[in-house]
């Protein structure tokens, strides 16, 4: 069955400061969408708001999967509906190896954990994850590349409908990036996975073969286009593109609080 | 005191040397002022709630005659312990059953009741550790000691398979005084599992465990405390290590109303090494109270302590640890880590690590943390579709895993992991 994630008019803030200022995006099964943007444009916020992290307040808009509103659901239920987030900085859970983690996810779904264990073994081979990283607590003392391989392994084992990949291309070497991108690409064709990849580099695009590129600046999608948009960005840079589009606010600077007792600067 | 009197102590039977030891302790006890939480070593404890008049010693008639009975079951843990080379069953402090692999017996290993074993074999060893660290409860223990498990491994003998000791205490309003005395002589090796459990009614367990390690001895020791919900435990576990001796000690504490354990290790010989591990988990209104001492009195000694605990509902825990590096402990290493998870708003954990360093060429560190389950870890697991209660179960088990995986008796790792899991799964249903 084909799925569709529809984000419309999404506005969100942290501590009263608005970071997402009306985001519209649609991702369907088998599609690869890439959101590009400079640091501070709201990219990571977008991924966590989609997933329902507690410290963001959604003020307007909707995130719906196959017509069901997700914003009212806790994170784990969004995941249970078929959403997955691969994190930029995956959290270490000492003493909980990936096998136990996916077994717990399987039990929650009412699936047989043994089948998931087999998939972990198969995916570990496919993603060159060695036994050591299967027995250690997930992400506990992992390098950047090991973390991203482990995120991809879980993605492949849990087979969600739509995956949000938050800077899955940062902090890893070219070999790991190639393995990760290949595996994700294969899922889009074999498993009809829909992908929303968030990045500020171009290099992820080579392996992922995106259908659509979106540029996020100042908490809004300011441009969308085919893969050629990435090439255009490469030439002009974000500032050049912003100038072409007449966008004034590229990044979001939080107003700095002035401490009246601070020592005078030099 | 009207219950723990010298007369009550004299009314207990036993060999002359034990009666003399008891009488001397009972006389000291009669002059003793009971401690209060104003003393540093009792700070944060429940000692101010302790009323000795609520308890009385188990009289000789109820203890029954010393001697061997058929093994009364042995409980779940004995069955789960898998292979064992010996078994001692101690009821209210008196050994009621003991058995040992005849092949070990032939090598001179003895497993028996310290009060009655042949030729007063236990006499020279009894009190070797505990007499060096007395407090009101060791005096009380010594005044009413009716027997206990004695494990004696002669020089050079290796006991691979664990010897299991099951202490069972029962009788409402009674006090019992379990004792385990392990002597591993030069280059001997032994593993001992000591299980302490009790019935559901109010009961005082005043226990002492002594571990005597000769030169080059190697002892693995695992104690499991699964007392009933109204048991008060005040216990001392103390080890003395001679040259190049190695102790791997661990404690798992799950039961009791108030359960205190002083856990002490004295490194007396050069090259001695002591590992001290503990896992504790309190719920309801339980209080777990640990006072540890890593006492380095010789050069090139090494100690490594890792205590991990969790509290939920209205439970409390106390960890107060001391590392002492005496002047003669040059080129020694001592590490002390205590980590606590606080799982409910009503629960609390105290963690007080202390160092006393009198030598200048040593390595030493201490670390201590008290905090709730990490929200980022919960969120991470939620993004994989795992609901919060299940996430917490995983996180808490993961938190304990580095200790549980290192428990020195492999055959008990899985059953104890299961016991901790059951405790977590009781969340929100204390004693349910």
In chain A, which residues have their Cβ closer than 8 Å to the Cβ of B391? Answer: 76, 104
State the DSSP H helix or E strand holding residue B232, giving kind and residue range, or none if neither. strand B231-241
Query: Which of B379, B380, B394 is facing A104, going by the closest CB pair?
Result: B394
Task: Please state, in angstroms and rounded to a whole number, the distance separating the CA atoms of residues B33 and B236.
Answer: 19
Enumerate the β-bridge partners of residue B166. B89, B195
Give the tokens for residue B419.
């016991």
Buried-state track A53-71, b at ≥16 Cβ within 10 A, e below 16: beebebeebebebeeeebe
Contact B228, B255 (CB under 8 A): yes
**pLDDT band at B226; cut points 50, 70, 90:** very high
CA distance A115 to A101: 14
Mean pLDDT value of segment B391-401: 96
State whether residue A94 sits within 8 Å of chain B by CB. yes
Please indicate if any CB of chain A lies within 8 Å of the CB of B389: no
Residue A189, SS3? Answer: helix
User: Which tokens hold the place of B399?
Assistant: 């938190």
Give the lowest-confidence range in A82-86, A258-262, B233-237.
Answer: A258-262
Which residues on neighbouring strands pair with residue B287, listed in sequence order?
B258, B316
Task: Check CB contact under 8 Å for B398 and A93.
Answer: yes
Q: Mean pLDDT score of chain A, rounded to an integer? A: 91
Q: What is the domain count for chain B? A: 1
CB contact under 8 A, B377 and A75: no
From the list A84, A101, A137, which residue is nearest B381 (CB)?
Answer: A101
**For residue B67, what pLDDT band results from cuts at 50, 70 and 90?**
low
Residue B304's pLDDT band (boundaries 50, 70, 90)? very high
**B70 burial level (CB within 10 Å; 0-12, 13-18, 19+):** exposed
Q: Give yes or no for residue A266 having a pLDDT over 90.
A: no
Of the candidates B234, B309, B224, B172, the residue with the CA atom closest to the CA atom of residue B34: B234
Q: Is the pLDDT of residue A134 over 90?
A: yes
Q: What is the pLDDT of residues B240-270, one digit of tens each?
A: 999 999 999 999 999 999 999 999 999 999 9
Of residues B410 and B178, which shows the higher confidence score?
A: B178
What is the average pLDDT across A257-265? 51
Per-residue pLDDT, B60: 82
* pLDDT band per the 50, 70, 90 thresholds, residue A258: low
Residues in A closer than 8 angstroms to B373, CB to CB, are none
- The reply to whether residue B385 touches residue A79, judged by beta carbons under 8 angstroms, is yes
Using DSSP, state whether B422 is helix, strand or coil.
helix
Q: Which residue has the tokens 């379990």?
A: B178
The Cα–Cα gap between B117 and B150 comes to 8
Return the DSSP state at A201: -
Q: Residue A257 pLDDT > 80, yes or no? A: no
* pLDDT > 80? residue A255: no
| Chain B positions in Cβ-Cβ contact with residue A108 (cut-off 8 Å) | 385-387, 390
Thinking of the domain A4-245, which architecture would CATH place it in? 3-Layer(aba) Sandwich (3.40)
Q: Which of B207, B300, B218 is nearest to B251 (CA)?
A: B207
Cβ-Cβ contacts under 8 Å, A166 against chain B: none
* Domain that includes residue B304, residue range: 6-372
Structural contact between residues B55 and B44, judged by C-beta atoms closer than 8 angstroms:
no
Determine what percent of chain B is predicted with pLDDT higher than 90.
Answer: 84
pLDDT band at A11 (very low <50, low <70, confident <90, very high): very high
CB of A104 within 8 Å of a chain B CB? The answer is: yes
The answer to whether residue B278 neighbours chain A at the CB level (below 8 Å) is: no
Measured between CA atoms, how close is B379 to chain A, in angstroms? 7
Strand order across the A162-166 sheet: A83-86, A162-166, A194-199, A32-36, A212-217, A220-225
Interface contacts A/B by beta carbons within 8 Å: 83
Residue B363 belongs to a domain:
yes
Q: What pLDDT score was predicted for residue B361?
A: 96
Distance CA B307, CA B330 (A): 25
Kindly report the nearest CA distance between residue A221 and chain B, in angstroms.
Answer: 25
Contact B153, B188 (CB under 8 A): yes
Helix (H) / strand (E) element for B239: namely: strand B231-241
Cα separations (Å) of A29 from A26, A192, A224, B118, B409? 10, 5, 19, 80, 51
Mean of the pLDDT values across residues B136-141?
A: 97
| A108 touches B at CB < 8 Å | yes
What is the Cα gyration radius of chain A? 19
Report yes or no: A61 at the B interface, CB cutoff 8 Å: no
3-state helix/strand/coil string of A225-255: ECCHHHHHHHHHHHHHHHHHHCCCCCCCCCC
> What is residue B81's predicted lDDT score, i.e. its pLDDT?
61
Instruction: Report DSSP state, residue B227.
Output: -
Q: Strand A83-86 to strand A4-14: parallel, antiparallel, or no bridges (unpaired)? A: unpaired
pLDDT surpasses 50 at B288: yes
The Cα–Cα gap between B249 and B269 comes to 18
| B266, B239 Cβ separation under 8 angstroms | yes
Mutate to test the interface with A, among B306, B376, B383, B405 (most CBs of A within 10 A): B383
Look at A109 and B385 and tell me if their CB atoms are within 8 Å: yes
Residues B151-160: tens digit of each pLDDT:
999 999 999 9
Neighbours of A246 (CB within 10 A): 7
Q: What value does the mean pLDDT of chain B take?
A: 93
Range picked from A189-203, B86-100, B227-241 for highest mean pLDDT: B227-241
> From the list A85, A100, A102, which residue is nearest B383 (CB)?
A85
Q: Please list every residue in chain B whose beta carbon sits closer than 8 Å to the beta carbon of residue A158.
A: 384-385
8 A C-beta contact, residue A213 and residue A224? yes
The distance of Cα B138 from the centroid of its chain, to the nearest Å, equals 14
Note the pLDDT of residue B82.
67
Tokens matching residue B37: 């939480």
Mark yes or no for CB contact A105/B401 under 8 Å: no
B116-119 long-range Cβ contacts below 8 angstroms, 24+ apart: B116/B14, B116/B15, B116/B66, B116/B67, B116/B147, B117/B150
- To 10 degrees, the CA torsion angle through B28, B29, B33, B39? 90
Nearest to B261 by CA among B189, B147, B191, B180: B180
Question: Residue A250: its pLDDT value, please?
Answer: 77
Token pair 């307007």 is found at A60
- Which of B375, B385, B388 is closest, CB to CB, to A105? B385
The nearest CA of chain B is from the CA of A69 a distance in Å of: 17
pLDDT at B427: 62
With CA atoms as reference, report the closest residue to A57 among A11, A7, A5. Answer: A11
Residue of A53, A73, A104 to mutate for B, most B C-beta atoms under 10 A? A104
A75 and B383 in contact by Cβ < 8 A? yes
The pLDDT of residue B65 is above 70: no
Residues of B in Cβ contact (< 8 Å) with A53: 379
pLDDT at position A252, please?
A: 76
Buried b (16+ CB within 10 A) or exposed e, B155-190: eebebebbbbbbbbbbbeebbbbbbbbbbbbbbbbb
Mean pLDDT of B379-384: 98
Phi and psi at residue A234, to the nearest 5°: -55, -40
**Is B349:B317 a contact under the CB 8 Å cutoff?**
yes
With respect to residue B205, please indicate whether it lies within any of the assigned structural domains. yes
**Strand, coil or helix: B20:** helix
Are A100 and B379 an interchain contact pair (Cβ–Cβ within 8 Å)? no
Nearest one of B13, B46, B252, B250 to B137, comparing CA atoms: B46
Mean pLDDT, residues B410-427 taken together: 86
Cβ–Cβ of B383/A93 closer than 8 Å? no
State the nearest Cα–Cα gap between A49 and chain B, in angstroms: 12
A79 touches chain B (CB under 8 A): yes
Of the candidates B377, B379, B386, which has its C-beta nearest A105's C-beta? B386
Query: Residue A130: is it exposed, middle or buried by C-beta count within 10 angstroms (0-12/13-18/19+)?
Result: exposed
Q: Which residue does chain B place closest to A96, by CA atoms?
A: B398
pLDDT tops 90 at residue A41: no
Q: Which residues of A touch B403 (CB under 8 A)?
A: none
From residue B317, give the alpha-carbon distance in Å to each of A102, B46, B48, B349, B354: 33, 11, 16, 5, 17
Contact B235, B45 (CB under 8 A): no
What confidence category does residue B431 fall into, taking pLDDT thresholds of 50, 70 and 90? very low
Q: Does any CB of chain B come closer than 8 Å to the CB of residue A99?
A: no
Are A154 and B384 a contacting pair at CB < 8 A? yes
- Determine contact: A154 vs chain B, CB below 8 A: yes
Instruction: Determine how many CB atoms are found less than 10 A away from the CB of residue B154.
Output: 16
Q: Residue B66 — very low, low, confident or very high, per pLDDT cuts 50/70/90?
A: low
A110 — phi, psi (to 5°)? 80, 20
CB of B395 within 8 Å of any CB in chain A?
A: yes
Residue A124 gets which letter from DSSP?
A: H
Inside any domain, residue B252 = yes
Asked if residue B185 belongs to a domain, the reply is yes
CB of A89 less than 8 A from some CB of B = no
Residue B127, in any domain of the structure: yes
Nearest by CB to A79, from B382, B388, B397: name it.
B382
A26 CB within 8 Å of a chain B CB: no
CA–CA gap between residue B269 and residue B31 (Å, rounded): 35
Res B72: pLDDT:
52
- B157 token code pair: 């003998």
pLDDT, tens digit, 9 for 90 and up, residues A185-213: 999 999 999 999 998 777 777 778 899 99
Confidence tier at A261 by pLDDT (50, 70, 90): low
For the record, the structure tokens of B328 come out as: 């003669």
Q: Whole-angstrom Cα distance, residue A189 to residue A181?
A: 13
The reply to whether B411 falls in a domain is no
Domain presence at residue B161? yes
Examine residue B70 and state whether it is found in any structural domain, yes or no.
Answer: yes
In this prediction, residue B217 has a pLDDT band, given cuts at 50, 70 and 90, of very high
ipTM, two decimals: 0.94
Residues of A in Cβ contact (< 8 Å) with B398: 93-96, 137
Q: Give percent above pLDDT 70 in chain B.
A: 94
Segments in A27-173 forming alpha helices (H):
43-51, 75-81, 98-109, 113-126, 131-135, 144-158
The HSE-up count of residue A105 (CA atoms within 13 Å, CB side) is 32
CB-based contact (8 Å) between B400 and chain A?
Answer: yes
What pLDDT score was predicted for residue B430? 45
Can you say whether the dihedral through the CA atoms of B77, B80, B86, B87 is positive or negative? positive
């Amino acid at each position: 069955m084909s799925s569709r994630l529809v984000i419309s008019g999404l506005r969100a803030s942290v501590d009263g400061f608005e970071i997402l200022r009306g985001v519209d995006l649609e991702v369907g099964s088998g599609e690869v969408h890439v959101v590009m943007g400079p640091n501070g444009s709201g990219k990571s916020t977008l991924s966590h708001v989609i997933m329902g992290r507690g410290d963001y307040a959604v003020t307007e808009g909707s995130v719906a999967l196959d017509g069901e509103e997700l914003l009212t659901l806790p994170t784990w239920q969004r995941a249970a509906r078929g959403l997955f987030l691969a994190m930029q900085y995956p959290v270490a859970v000492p003493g909980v190896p990936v096998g136990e983690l996916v077994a717990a996810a399987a039990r929650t779904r009412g699936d047989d954990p043994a089948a998931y264990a087999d998939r972990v073994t198969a995916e570990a081979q496919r993603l060159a994850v060695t036994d050591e990283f299967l027995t250690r607590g997930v992400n506990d003392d992992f390098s950047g590349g090991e973390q991203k391989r482990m995120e991809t392994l879980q993605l492949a084992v849990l087979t969600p409908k739509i995956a949000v990949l938050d800077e899955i291309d940062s902090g890893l070497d070219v070999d790991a990036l190639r393995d990760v991108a290949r595996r994700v690409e294969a899922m889009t064709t074999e498993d009809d996975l829909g992908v929303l990849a968030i990045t500020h580099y171009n290099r992820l695009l080579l392996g992922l073969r995106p259908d659509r590129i979106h540029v996020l600046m100042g908490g809004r999608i300011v441009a969308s286009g085919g893969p050629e948009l990435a090439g255009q960005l490469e030439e002009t840079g974000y500032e050049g593109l912003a100038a072409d589009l007449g966008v004034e606010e590229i990044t979001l600077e939080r107003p700095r609080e002035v401490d009246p007792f601070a020592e005078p600067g030099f | 005191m009207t219950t723990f009197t010298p007369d009550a102590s004299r009314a207990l039977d036993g060999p002359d040397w034990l009666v003399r030891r008891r009488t001397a302790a009972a006389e000291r006890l009669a002059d003793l002022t009971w401690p209060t939480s104003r003393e540093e070593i009792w700070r944060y404890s429940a000692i101010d709630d302790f009323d000795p008049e609520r308890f009385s010693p188990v009289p000789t008639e109820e203890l029954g005659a010393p001697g061997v009975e058929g093994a009364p079951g042995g409980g779940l843990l004995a069955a789960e312990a898998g292979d064992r080379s010996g078994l001692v069953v101690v009821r209210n402090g008196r050994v009621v059953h003991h058995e040992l692999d005849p092949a070990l017996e032939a090598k001179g290993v003895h497993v028996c009741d310290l009060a009655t074993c042949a030729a007063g074999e236990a006499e020279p060893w009894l009190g070797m550790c505990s007499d060096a660290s007395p407090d009101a409860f060791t005096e009380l223990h010594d005044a009413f000691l009716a027997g206990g498990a004695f494990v004696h491994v002669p020089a050079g003998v290796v006991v691979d398979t664990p010897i299991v000791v099951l202490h069972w205490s029962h009788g409402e309003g009674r006090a019992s005084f379990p004792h385990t005395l392990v002597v591993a002589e030069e280059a001997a090796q032994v593993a001992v599992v000591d299980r302490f459990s009790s019935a559901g009614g109010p009961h005082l367990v005043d226990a002492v465990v002594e571990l005597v390690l000769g030169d080059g001895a190697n002892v693995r020791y695992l104690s499991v405390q699964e007392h009933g919900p109204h048991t008060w435990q005040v216990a001392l576990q103390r080890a003395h290590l001679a040259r190049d001796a190695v102790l791997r000690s661990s404690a798992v504490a799950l039961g009791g109303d108030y359960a205190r354990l002083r856990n002490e290790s004295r490194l007396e010989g050069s090259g001695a090494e002591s590992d001290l591990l503990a896992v504790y988990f309190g719920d309801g209104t339980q209080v777990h109270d640990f006072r540890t001492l890593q006492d380095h009195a010789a050069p090139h000694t090494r100690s490594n302590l890792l205590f991990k605990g969790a509290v939920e509902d209205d439970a409390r825990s106390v960890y107060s640890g001391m590392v002492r590096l005496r002047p003669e402990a040059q080129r020694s290493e001592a590490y002390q880590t205590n980590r606590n998870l606080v799982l409910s708003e009503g629960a609390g954990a105290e963690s007080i690590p202390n160092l006393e360093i009198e030598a200048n060429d040593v390595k030493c560190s201490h670390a201590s943390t008290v905090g709730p389950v990490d929200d980022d870890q919960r969120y991470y697991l939620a993004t994989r579709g795992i609901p919060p209660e299940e996430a917490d179960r995983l996180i808490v088990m993961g938190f304990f895993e580095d200790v549980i995986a290192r428990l020195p008796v492999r055959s008990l790792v899985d059953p104890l992991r299961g016991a901790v899991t059951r405790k977590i799964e009781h969340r929100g249903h204390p004693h349910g």
